[in-house]
Every structure is written in structure tokens, then in C-alpha cells.
Amino acid sequence: MRPGTRDNFICLSVGLIVAALVTFDFFYADSHGLEMWWPTNFEFSLVANLILVEYFVVTETRKIGATTKQILALRV
């Protein structure tokens, strides 16, 4: 399997899992008369920024063909 195809499958899988969890939370809260849980702005920003940093580290690691340990050793 080509790396681009594999990456697309991974992104699709993660997106479907997130959509399923949000849908489950919606129906659970609705059936029990509760409010849906939503993250605060701080939690959302923290998770979004961590995902972006991880993405950039992975892409840079692949570009130069190094392992993650080697990349982290160069940054420190």
C-alpha cells in the first residue's frame, strides 16, 4: 500500500471515530435529558495545537528519513 493511501485511510478512520463519538454523545445526552459535553476553548486549543505539532514532527521526520529519537536529539 502506498504511503499516501495509507495516510488517507488513517485520516478517514480517525474522522469516522470522532464523528461516531460525537453522535453517540448527542443521542445519549438527548435520551437521558442531559446537555452535550463540549470542551472548553482551552481544551480545544490544547488538543488542536498538540495535533499540529505532532503532524509537523512526523512530516519533517519523513522528509529527512530520520527516526523520531534522532529528530528529538537534534532539537534538544
Indicate whether 75 pLDDT > 70: no
Rounded to whole angstroms, the Cα distance separating 55 from 37 reads 27
Specify the DSSP class assigned to residue 35.
P
Instruction: Give Dmax over CA atoms of the chain in angstroms.
Output: 53
Contact between residue 32 and residue 24 where contact means Cβ atoms under 8 Å apart: no
- The predicted-structure confidence for 16-67, as pLDDT tens digits, reads as follows 999 999 999 999 999 999 988 888 999 999 999 999 998 887 787 778 787 7
